[in-house]
Chains A and B, each alone.
Chain A
Amino acid sequence: MKSFFLALIKSRAGLFGFLLVTVFVLAALLAPYLGLPSPTRSNLVARMAAPTWTGIFSPGAHPLGTDELGRDVLSRILHGSRITLAIAAASVVLGGIVGTLLGIVAGYYRGIVDRVLMRVVDIQLALPLMLLALLVVAALGPSTRNLIIVLALTSWLRYARIIRGQVLALREREFILSAHAIGAGTWRIMIKHLLPNVMTPALVIATLELARIIIMDAALSFLGLGVQPPNPSWGRMLADGRVYISTAWWIVTFPGVAIVLTVLSVNLLGDWLRDYFDPKLRTMR
């Protein structure tokens, strides 16, 4: 753990990403305890109030302004991040585990297992992801759980495809023969020998996917299929605020900035994690 932070401090981009992610996660966790106005309580008197930084600590202040119903934008962003980050993290983990395991299985067994799995991937790739997501949400109904399932469903195949290719090459390497020679069974070889070798690509895909899923979640919410009102979500805020962009720019701008910063920080952190987990690069530091 100590060496982890020592290595982190040496990398500027990694540190920046790590700090930003930490801030976002902390803000999301602490949102209800910051004494902010309720994210769902509307106040028609104060609708579309511009951001004001005077008297910022007084109860009625709106540092990032209010939306068309007079709800505090800062509070909505912070409360929205709770839902958005939780959904994104859950779908990345779910899609990543399923995709990586299926990729290892397909690459290791080859033959019929591989062919069936890869055709499923091909079929799904041929369908526009958004259309698939729309279909599933329409069939299952919009809820947080269904949203996680849908997002993971659009995500697993990227892992499966790439990991399968890696495993196809890895299984012919001599160290896999060595593993067989010490009496390792199929399961042990897949989990103890192949999995650590594909962690690096899996991690890279995961960071790209986390960013993509945040955007996709925003898009689904934008279309009204994600988090349901009045609960705040970043995509929903973009969707509702876009109408007022000429008169009240802050309603749509700040959620947008939040999305950009989150995606950026996750990418920076992921990039650094990838290097950190590569034993060859680790000793060079």
Chain B
Amino acid sequence: MAPLLEVRNLTVAFDTPSGTVHAVNDVSYTLEEGETLGIVGESGSGKSVHALSMVGLIASPPGRVVAGEVLFQGRNLLTLPKRELFEVRGKEIGFVFQDPMTSLNPVLTIERQIAEPLRRHFGMSALAASNRVVELLELVGIPDAARRAKQYPHEFSGGMRQRVMIAIGISCNPKLLIADEATTALDVTVQAQILDLVRDLKRRIGTTVIWITHDMGVVAGLADTVQVMYGGRIMERGPVRPVFHDPRSAYTWGLLKSLPHGGKRGVTRLYQIPGNPPDLTKPPLGDPFAPRNQFATARCHTEVPPLLDVAGSTPGHKVAAWYDLRAELAGQAELTGQEGQP
């Protein structure tokens, strides 16, 4: 069966007064129906921009898609006429954004905002939409839904608003739900509730999900596949287990090492990846992570490594690296007599 989404060589740039920012570079991957893909990376890694550019949501100018194809159910979204693209947005692909405090229109009732995609895409009557809104609110776990629907966003807490955002995102039963840092603005207990809700919804309605975050822990608990991005490129991707237990990219390894371990390690300071993210107006010639990578070889600085299957790991585990992280770590462990892996 053809994959639900196939991204081929997606390249996105922003023309700014200080030069062209190469935000997304040659990103390719496929997403199967029903899969949950977790995309991780730090700020400026291109993870949000690549998702927004797929459905034409980046401001243009300054943003522009330089090259690539985004095949969604066989149709290239990047060349779709505007009118058809509007039909895809909200109906086929739902979005949940980062900040539930600002993503809802402050002067419209919750009901009107959830009903809007229903009325827009299905031409539902006000009454039918209103009934569906109450159903959706109940589905996302908002108590007293009929009364709450008539309220305004400021009468909801952050977690409740994010539930409303999710209700809007899934209102038209989209094939694909893209959550862009959907739990980042929430505190940890609320985040856990929202993640539970998403898992529950996935089980019930079987939506395919792209979950964009910078939190490795969220990905571990939610995703089937994880994709690590840096400098607008995919550094490593694969099923969650091999990527977390046997990372082959120095960047993934660094990210996992920087995770707090709940005091298990006593008073050791948290690991920190040295250096700063690359200046994407002047992207490095080779591997974007090379300048911060202690294992970088000469070739890393001059040539971009291709994303290739990792020999001897789980199928689907791919990495873009010229160096062999496992060999390097083994060598390091020999020298110091310590376990190098996190």
Contacts and interface: CB of A to CB of B under 8 A. Distances in A.
Interface in B146-167: 152, 154-155, 165
Contacts of B87: 183
Contacts of A192: 116
B107 A197 contact: yes
A181 interface: yes
A66 B142 CA distance: 69
B152 A178 contact: no
Given A197-B107, A283-B152, A173 B102 contact: yes
A185 B104 CA distance: 17
Using C-beta atoms within 8 Å of the partner chain, give the interface range for chain A: 20 to 34
Using C-beta atoms within 8 Å of the partner chain, give the interface range for chain B: 20 to 34
13 contacts: A175-B103, A175-B104, A175-B105, A178-B168, A181-B55, A181-B57, A183-B87, A184-B90, A196-B105, A196-B107, A199-B107, A279-B106, A280-B152
A183 B90 contact: yes
A193 B105 CA distance: 7
Nearest to B171: A182
Given A174-B97, A196-B105, A197-B106, A183 B117 contact: yes
B289 interface: no
Contacts of A193: 105, 108
A179 interface: yes
B245 interface: no
Interface centre among B87, B89, B105, B155 (most CB of A within 10 A): B105
A180 interface: yes
A190 to B, nearest CB: 13
B233 interface: no
Interface of A: 173-175, 177-185, 188, 192-193, 196-197, 199, 279-280, 283
Contacts of A181: 55, 57, 89-90, 94-95, 97
Nearest to B91: A183
Contact of A178 (B97, B106, B107): B97
A129 to B, nearest CB: 32
Contact of A180 (B89, B91, B94): B89
B29 interface: no
A87 B102 CA distance: 41
A183 B88 contact: yes
B33 interface: no
Given A175-B103, A183-B121, A188-B120, A279 B152 contact: yes
A174 B116 contact: no
B103 A280 contact: no
Contacts of B95: 178, 181-182
